[in-house]
Amino acid sequence: MSSYYHYTLTTLLATTITCLSACSASSNSASPTEEDMHTTTINEDMPQDTSTTDMREPIMDMNVSQEVDQQESCQETPLYQDLDGDGQGSGQSVDTECLLPGQQPSSSELVRESGDCNDGDPLQYTGASGICNDRVDDDCDSMDEACPTSQPDSTTLPSWDCTNDSPPDNVYAWARFDAGNSNINPGCFVFFAAKKDLFYVQRVGLDDTDSCQRTGGCICQFDGGNGYDQRLYAFTTHEDTSSCEDIQLGDGQNSVSNACRKYLYHMYDDSRHYAFAANNADDLNARLETFNRVEIACVKDVTFSSFPFQTILSTGITTNPNFVMPAN
């Protein structure tokens, strides 16, 4: 019983008892009237409940109400298998589930969105930023992505030799080759922000050693013959490349990226020591998390069996915890 009802009954009872006492005193031994007896009987039989139980109508639990609303508003949604984890599936739907707008499927292997033109490559899907100049249709629009026309200037190129772990603020990450080899001097690749949301990679060092006398090539040289160093590229790669497909050129094949290796830099091009990397920090971070090493390799020339694919150098990528995005 609510406190309000308890208070009212208690007050009524006290008033009735007081009245009966007064009436008894004034009439001495006079018998109570029929009305008095009726009043007394009502108050003697009235329950003296001192609890505070609420006798009002119960209110529906809001969580139950929301669950009912959700069950009523969800829609049967086709789902697609996402093999590479980029948020898009390909082909026909493999299942359906009743989902609210924006709600994710219960299985992490299924997604609501289709349109992935390569479900084995996490950087290749409809709407992807893509890697320019790798001759791969990364965003599924049947064209390779064009590199931006703007280029870094002398004020944004990091003035850093990459021999320590204290880079400038606009350096996002780096891949250092401390030893080099008999044909390539030590050096590194530096990922940096040339301006807000515009990232490039800079080549520092990694030039030919004095012992490398080019007569058509000395780095991509095999079997004692002349090499062809235009096949010398740098890639970002998976941690383990043992099961990766080789990059190969010639005979109609010209892509310099695949699901395991992503084009970074053409080592033979000495005209400039930087290349475009990403349009924003999120895209660059997604790339470097999945492809977390830099590899220098001679790609396979399919027209000449003497020019196979071969990794020359490989190293991990280090991110800069003190990176600061330029203001503009």
Query: Quick one: average pLDDT of 133-144?
Result: 88
For residues 296-300, give the mean pLDDT.
94
pLDDT of residue 184: 93
pLDDT higher than 70, residue 316: yes
Q: What is the pLDDT of residue 303?
A: 83
Output the average pLDDT for the chain.
80
pLDDT at 144 over 90: no
Average pLDDT over residues 127-144: 86
| Averaged pLDDT for residues 108-122 | 86
Tell me the per-residue pLDDT of 189-237, one tens digit each, with 9 for 90 and over: 999 999 999 999 999 999 989 988 777 788 887 766 667 888 999 999 9
Q: What is the pLDDT of residues 237-295, one digit of tens each?
A: 999 999 899 999 987 788 999 999 999 999 987 777 899 999 999 999 999 999 999 99
pLDDT of 301 over the 80 cut:
yes
> Does 23 score more than 50 pLDDT?
no
Can you say whether residue 186 is alpha, beta or left, with left for phi > 0 and alpha for psi between -120 and 50 degrees?
beta
As given in the structure block, the two tokens for residue 255 are 């892509």
Output the pTM of the full model. Answer: 0.72
pLDDT at 8: 41
Taking each helix axis as running N to C, give the angle between helix 34-45 and helix 3-27, from 0 to 180 degrees, rounded to the nearest 10. Answer: 140
131 touches 262 (CB < 8 A): yes
* pLDDT at residue number 247: 95
The whole-number pLDDT of residue 282 equals: 93
pLDDT at 68 over 70: no
> Nearest Cα to 299, choosing from 272, 273, 261, 326?
261
Q: Kindly list the distances between the CA atom of residue 47 and the CA atoms of 12, 16, 19, 21, 272, in Å, as whole numbers in the listed order.
A: 13, 15, 20, 21, 97
Is residue 193 within 8 Å of 172, Cβ to Cβ?
yes
Residues 167-196: pLDDT tens digits?
999 999 999 999 888 899 999 999 999 999
